[in-house]
Amino acid sequence: MSKEVSIEVDGKGVKVQDGITIKKALEMTGYKVAKYPEKGSLFAPCEIGGCWSCAVEVDKELKPACVTFVKDGLRIGTSLPEGHVPKRIVHSFSGHTVGGVGTPWWLKGSHGYIEAACFAAGCNLCCPQCQNWETTYRGKGKAFTPKEAAETMTSTRSEFGVDRMAISGGESTLNRRWLVEYVRELKGLNPDPDARIHVDTNASILTRDYIDELVDAGMADIGPDLKGYYPETFMRIAAIEDKGLAERYLNTAWDAAKYLIDRYKDRVFIGIGIPYNKELISVHEIGLIGERLYEIDPEVQVCVLDYRPEFKRLDLVKPGYEEMVEIHKILKGKGLKAVICQTQHGHIGPEL
Ligand code: FES
């Protein structure tokens, strides 16, 4: 039988098994832990210590509950004090030559650096073919405050001589308070009209009020991903086994795309991302996505990403150039005007 330790949770003494995480201890003492942000629950979407959405106060210090272990005498506070400074792990601030799905297509062929980017650790999805897995699942590294990250991004912008500043991941939106404050700080440090703050996201928790907050804070470009038309496809691509949760994520992403276009099309550049690999999504379904996007806005930029073998799906075969040309034709055939496809030979632009 393993040893028990005494800890204090929100002022109440409890005994829990030694060697478990604070998240586990909270669950065992009746706290609700959720994979979708909900009032009254501890939001723990990544569980690798990357996003710090699950942060609690441990002996007056902010710590991620999913990777911090209990020990005798620990005092945990689950309600963070008003005005606390959020943190999350962000990696790899650097210049980038390709851009993300929220980068306007006409910049993608430019030579040299298009934007400065950084990558937030942690994701709520578990895509076995994750294209950014090395940064997504790196739960170690510096946990930045929004101000520190904004200062680092501002100097990266200046170092690479660009105007666009992107945050990707992992999933950039997981720690809402952190991201909104980061965008606000970054805008404050880059008040010139050329500066563009770009958020790349799977959009699965990007609710309408969250979008409003990001736009108010200064976000100028966004690249939401739509990982399927059917929840079953989303479940396969994102390795989410809970169908109810997958539907919630997918519906939120589609609603975010529509809301962004309906409300902010004149203020924010929007580029929609769609994954393609025949093992993951059918050509027919790509057509259905195209039809639905056409109904929302025929002019919206749609960028198809050719999913290559990565991470746990090294068995995948990267779609060939001709296959991507076919996908391009299908989406154009649905009436979409600005379709671009990522291929082994660079991007196919809206005009073939
Ligand atoms: S859920 Fe704990 S750090 Fe992301």
Residue-wise pLDDT for 57-102, tens only, equals 998 899 999 999 999 999 999 999 888 999 999 999 999 988 888 8
Ligand 1 atom closest to residue 66's alpha carbon, by position in its atom list: 2
What pLDDT, on the 0 to 100 scale, is given for residue 106? 84
What pLDDT, on the 0 to 100 scale, is given for residue 9? 95
* Exposed/middle/buried for residue 110 (C-beta within 10 Å: 0-12, 13-18, 19+): exposed
What pLDDT, on the 0 to 100 scale, is given for residue 109? 67
What pLDDT, on the 0 to 100 scale, is given for residue 103? 87
The best mutation among 24, 42, 43, 53 to test binding of ligand 1, ranked by most ligand atoms within 8 Å of the C-beta, falls on 53
Ligand 1 atom closest to residue 44's alpha carbon, by position in its atom list: 1
Ligand 1 atom closest to residue 54's alpha carbon, by position in its atom list: 2
Determine if ligand 1 sits within 6 Å of the CB of residue 53.
yes
Give the residue extent of every domain in the chain. Answer: 4-77, 88-348
Q: What is the mean pLDDT of the chain?
A: 94
| Mean pLDDT score, 44-66 | 95
Determine if ligand 1 sits within 6 Å of the CB of residue 171.
no
CATH of 88-348 given 2.102.10.10, 3.40.50.2300, 3.40.50.300, 3.20.20.70: 3.20.20.70
pLDDT digits (tens, 9 = 90+) for 220-260: 999 999 999 999 999 999 999 999 999 999 999 999 999 99
Distance CA 5, CA 234 (A): 41
Ligand 1 atom closest to residue 65's alpha carbon, by position in its atom list: 2
Determine if ligand 1 sits within 6 Å of the CB of residue 47.
yes
Report the share of the chain in percent with pLDDT over 70.
Answer: 99
Determine if ligand 1 sits within 6 Å of the CB of residue 122.
yes
Determine if ligand 1 sits within 6 Å of the CB of residue 44.
yes
Determine if ligand 1 sits within 6 Å of the CB of residue 86.
no
Residue with tokens 């709520």: 124
- Two tokens, residue 77: 């506070």
Residue 310 phi, psi (nearest 5): -150, 160
- Two tokens, residue 218: 């200064």
What pLDDT, on the 0 to 100 scale, is given for residue 1? 56
Report the share of the chain in percent with pLDDT over 90.
Answer: 84
pLDDT digits (tens, 9 = 90+) for 100-117: 888 888 887 667 899 999
What pTM was estimated for this model as a whole? 0.95
What pLDDT, on the 0 to 100 scale, is given for residue 159? 97
Q: Tell me the CA–centroid distance for residue 67 and ligand 1, in Å.
A: 8
Determine if ligand 1 sits within 6 Å of the CB of residue 121.
no
Residue 109 phi, psi (nearest 5): -85, -5
Checking 349-352 for CB contacts under 8 A at 24+ apart, the result is: 349/105, 349/108, 349/109, 350/105, 352/325, 352/328
What pLDDT, on the 0 to 100 scale, is given for residue 250? 98
The architecture in CATH of the region 4-77 reads Roll (3.10)
| Mean pLDDT score, 133-152 | 90
Checking 42-46 for CB contacts under 8 A at 24+ apart, the result is: 42/78, 43/174, 45/122, 45/123, 45/124, 45/171, 45/174, 45/205, 46/121, 46/122, 46/123, 46/124, 46/139, 46/170, 46/171, 46/174
Please give the sequence-ordered ranges of beta strands (E in DSSP) within the chain, or none if there are none.
4-9, 12-17, 33-34, 42-43, 55-58, 61-64, 75-77, 88-96, 115-120, 143-144, 164-169, 196-201, 219-224, 269-276, 301-306, 338-343, 346-348
Of 49 and 351, the structure prediction assigns the larger pLDDT to 49
Q: Is pLDDT at 31 greater than 70 in this prediction?
A: yes
Please give the C-alpha separations between residue 12 and each of 3, 29, 61, 120, 311, in angstroms, as whole numbers. Answer: 20, 10, 18, 34, 43
What pLDDT, on the 0 to 100 scale, is given for residue 341? 94
Q: How many other CB atoms are there within 10 angstroms of residue 4's CB atom? A: 13
Determine if ligand 1 sits within 6 Å of the CB of residue 228.
no
pLDDT digits (tens, 9 = 90+) for 155-169: 999 999 999 999 998
Distance CA 43, CA 55 (A): 9
Nearest to 138 by CA among 201, 198, 88, 204: 88
Q: Which residue is closest in CA terms to ligand 1's atom 3?
A: 49
The best mutation among 51, 68, 140 to test binding of ligand 1, ranked by most ligand atoms within 8 Å of the C-beta, falls on 51
Side chain identity at residue 290, one-letter code: G
Determine if ligand 1 sits within 6 Å of the CB of residue 52.
yes
Q: How many other CB atoms are there within 10 angstroms of residue 146's CB atom? A: 23
Q: Tell me the CA–centroid distance for residue 322 and ligand 1, in Å.
A: 41
Determine if ligand 1 sits within 6 Å of the CB of residue 45.
yes
Ligand 1 atom closest to residue 23's alpha carbon, by position in its atom list: 2
Distance CA 62, CA 87 (A): 8
Residue with tokens 């963070």: 80
